[in-house]
Amino acid sequence: MDLFNDLTGKLGKVQDVYIEMLSEVVTDEKNLKLALFFIVFNPLFWNTAARLEYKTHFLTKITGSAKRGCYVLAVTIFSLGIVRDYFFHQALMQQPTSRVLDTDAVRKAGMVLSAFGQVLVATSMYQLGVTGTYLGDYFGILMDNIVTAFPFNVSNNPMYHGSTLTFLGTSLYYGKAAGVFATVLVNLVYNIAQQFEEPFTAQIYAKRDAERTKKSS
């Protein structure tokens, strides 16, 4: 009974913290709404554009080559990411600082998480290159082998995980509850995107391998 009461008390404290942080979010702030919009829109856009390219080769036809088409998509995705990050940072500056998060320990944790997130993103891009990072396989630009070196030996999707950690770390550094809740949405959207991307990418490589086997037989 004591254990049950202790557990109930701890859960109650967690709930109280959650409710307090939620009450600190200014939900009708314009920059926050725009940041949330681009958090959802960006993965939807690049998945839609990439699949359309795979089926119709519209970017390849417009630019004259698969590689140039992939670079156009890369620039577009990167630019949308800058817009999203801009509104996210503007939103954080407009949001009140959370009493719960306004501590040196939270700020230091935020710095560590953000730095590690950036390492995951940067090293992922280094390992994959531009075409590997920005959906080159949908253009028929396939890698010869699966990358297993860091950061892929610590994360199955370091780009998404690193981005999520960066959002969370930045939010904690500034002590903004709105940023923490926005990070939950970031994680949710990325997880949904993975459910569409990973099977489709696996299908692309399986088709390539089947064609190679057919040619060699």
- HSE-CB at 167 with a 13 A cutoff on CA atoms is 29
> What's the pLDDT score for residue 12?
55
Q: Does residue 160 form part of some domain? A: yes
Q: Does residue 141 form part of some domain? A: yes
Q: Does residue 127 form part of some domain? A: yes
Task: Give the model confidence (pLDDT) of 50-105 as tens digits.
Answer: 999 999 999 999 999 999 999 999 999 999 999 999 999 999 999 999 999 999 99
Closest CA to 30 of 76, 81, 75, 88: 88
Binding-site residue ranges for S-adenosyl-L-methionine: 115-117, 197-198
Q: What is the mean pLDDT of residues 130-136?
A: 96
Structural domains of the chain, count: 1
Task: Quote the domain boundaries for residue 158.
Answer: 28-216
Comparison of pLDDT for 212 and 83, the residue scoring more: 83
Rounded to the nearest 10 degrees, the angle between the axes of helix 104-133 and helix 158-174 is 150
- HSE-CB at 157 with a 13 A cutoff on CA atoms is 14
Q: Would you tell me how many other CB atoms lie within 10 Å of the CB of residue 117?
A: 21
Q: Does residue 51 form part of some domain? A: yes
Q: What is the mean pLDDT of residues 113-139?
A: 97
> What's the pLDDT score for residue 216?
74
Longest dimension (CA), the chain: 72
Q: Does residue 164 form part of some domain? A: yes
- HSE-CB at 179 with a 13 A cutoff on CA atoms is 31
> What's the pLDDT score for residue 4?
43
- Cα–Cα distance between 84 and 31 in angstroms, integer? 10
> What's the pLDDT score for residue 19?
87
Q: Does residue 10 form part of some domain? A: no
Task: Give the model confidence (pLDDT) of 32-54 as tens digits.
Answer: 999 999 999 999 999 999 999 99
Query: Is 173 within 8 Å of 89 (Cβ atoms)?
Result: no
Q: What confidence tier does 215 reach under pLDDT thresholds 50, 70, 90?
A: confident
Residue 158 vs residues 8, 73, 89, 201: alpha-carbon distances, Å: 36, 20, 22, 16
- Cα–Cα distance between 122 and 126 in angstroms, integer? 6
Token pair in block for residue 66: 């698969």
| Total-model pTM | 0.90
| First-residue to last-residue Cα distance in the chain | 69
Binding-site residue ranges: 115-117, 197-198
Q: Does residue 147 form part of some domain? A: yes
Q: Residue 213 pLDDT more than 90?
A: no
Residues in the chain: 217
Q: Does residue 17 form part of some domain? A: no
Token pair in block for residue 69: 């088409």
Q: Give the type of residue at 22.
A: L
